[in-house]
Amino acid sequence: PMSEYEKAQTVRQARSQTHFHDADRTVIYPFRSKLLCMDCGKRYRRKTVTRGPIWICATYNTRGKEYCPTSKAIPEDTLMAVTAGVLGTDTFDATVFLDRVDHIKVGSENQLTYIFKDGSSVSTTWQDRSRRDSWTEEKRKSARKIALQQEPPERYSDGRFKKKDNSTYQGRLQA
């Protein structure tokens, strides 16, 4: 009979085949160890979310807003565009960035302070993505479909919406 250890090893092996990630571990991200949170002092880390890669304060990411209240996640494409502007290049160039920039201080209110290897610094701000820009054509179609399936709200003759009648509430009242 198979020991529990052998069974566990068989299960682990089977799972490793199904959950195998063929990620290239040799990829080096240029912003790694370069972004420093001015609120808590920790470095920013790269995180992939549904909108794409972002850079987020390690404290904010692991412990939450109460431990790092002014930190904000920065979309990687935004960070690259701002950095290209600071470096005076048309597009982000990792080699130029790594050659010239020592680190970036990330402050509150979208403030970035680039500290160069020659000792000089440049401060700038980055713009949050507009929510309008996050609506893809697919999301618009999906939202429209849901809206069309819903019953239209009642209106008064002057066009104002009538409030929903909640008088049919059957919940218990507190005595």
Residue with tokens 């160069």: 116
Q: Say how far residue 164 (Cα) sits from the centre of its chain.
A: 36
pLDDT tens string, the chain, 175 residues long: the values are 578 898 898 888 888 777 766 666 677 899 999 999 999 999 999 999 988 899 999 999 999 999 999 899 999 999 999 999 999 999 999 999 999 999 999 999 999 999 999 999 999 999 887 777 677 888 888 888 888 888 877 888 888 888 776 555 555 555 4
The answer to whether 77 and 127 are in contact (CB under 8 A) is no
Quick one: CA torsion of 42, 44, 48, 50, rounded to 10 degrees?
90
pLDDT of residue 7: 87
pLDDT of residue 87: 96
The answer to whether 73 and 54 are in contact (CB under 8 A) is yes
* Whole-structure pTM value: 0.64
**How far apart are alpha carbons 51 and 35 in whole angstroms?**
20
